[in-house]
Amino acid sequence: MATLKRLLTDVETRTLVWLARGRASSLVIVGTVATASLGFAALGAQATTPTRHTQPATAATLPLSAYGCAKDTDGDGHIFCDGSVAITKLPASFGSCETDAYDGSRIYCDGTSR
């Protein structure tokens, strides 16, 4: 392994000396920098392009069940939650929410939801 490492170091050193002495060294350096710049630009564009075209789930797109909630069956827009998610974490689209006076673990919201 040491022999291979020494051989590669010698080849690298000789290549650098050859480039420094030759007339084409400036062209090689400019070409290397240009190629590296194009490579970084291509990688940067790929890194910022999302692989999926779906939007991340936000409070507005999560279903009611993600909050432990369900719509009231009478259709008036009320939402009942089981209390597994704190009132402060519920989305604003649920409207005004309060803890059930009779059962402290349930949450009642008066807003409408999708």
In this prediction the pTM is: 0.43
Q: In the prediction, which pLDDT does 101 show?
A: 78
Position 108 confidence tier, pLDDT thresholds 50, 70, 90: confident
Give the separation between CA 92 and CA 114, rounded to whole angstroms.
13
Q: Are strands 107-109 and 79-81 parallel, antiparallel or unpaired?
A: antiparallel
Query: Residue 39 belongs to what H/E stretch?
Result: helix 25-48
Residue with tokens 């392994």: 1
Q: What is the mean pLDDT of the chain?
A: 76
pLDDT in tens, 65-81: 888 888 888 878 888 88
